[in-house]
Amino acid sequence: MSQPTLVTSLGTGMYRLEETEFMAELNHHDIIEAEDLGLERLRFIRIPERSELLPRGGIYSKDFLESAELQSLLDWLTGRGGYWQREMGGCLLLSIPKDAEPDFNARWSQVVDSQMGPDRS
C-alpha cells in the first residue's frame, strides 16, 4: 500500500485493516498478509480472509453528510460494531454488521427521506 493505512498486527505477517482502502478494494477488518519492510511500511501480499462486515459506499452532498440525522445513524452503526469513514469530502464508506443490516437499511431510508423533504422530491 502506498498510503498510510491503520492496521493491527496479528503476528506471522498477518494484519487486520482498521480502515477501508477503497482505491485498493480493501475493507475494514479484512485480514491481509503483508511483508514488514521496516519503518512502519508493509508490502501487501494477499487477502487470506475478507471481513464479515458488509461494505457499502457512495458520494453524497455536504449537507447530507453533515446532517444531524446522518450523524445519529453513524453513531448507531458504530455502537453495533460497524464502521464508517469519510474520504475526499463527499465519499462515505460504511462497514455494516450482517445482523444489523435490516435495521440499518430501515434507518438509512428514514435519514434519506428526512433529507429529501416534501419539497425536494
Per-residue 3-state assignment (H helix, E strand, C coil) for the chain: CCCCCCEEEEECCEEEECCCEHHHCECCCCEEEEEEEECCEEEEEEEEECCCCEEEEEECCHHHHCCHHHHHHHHHHHHCCCEEEEECCCEEEEEECHHHHHHHHHHHHHHHHHHHCCCCC
**Higher per-residue pLDDT: 22 or 94:** 94
pLDDT at 117: 64
User: In the structure, what pLDDT confidence band is assigned to residue 118 with cuts at 50, 70 and 90?
Assistant: low
Residue 2 above 70 pLDDT?
Answer: no
What proportion of the chain, given as a percentage, has pLDDT over 70?
Answer: 93
User: In the structure, what pLDDT confidence band is assigned to residue 1 with cuts at 50, 70 and 90?
Assistant: very low
Answer positive or negative: Cα dihedral of 98, 104, 105, 106: positive
pLDDT at 39: 84
**Higher per-residue pLDDT: 103 or 6:** 103
What proportion of the chain, given as a percentage, has pLDDT over 90?
Answer: 64
Residue 88 above 70 pLDDT?
Answer: yes
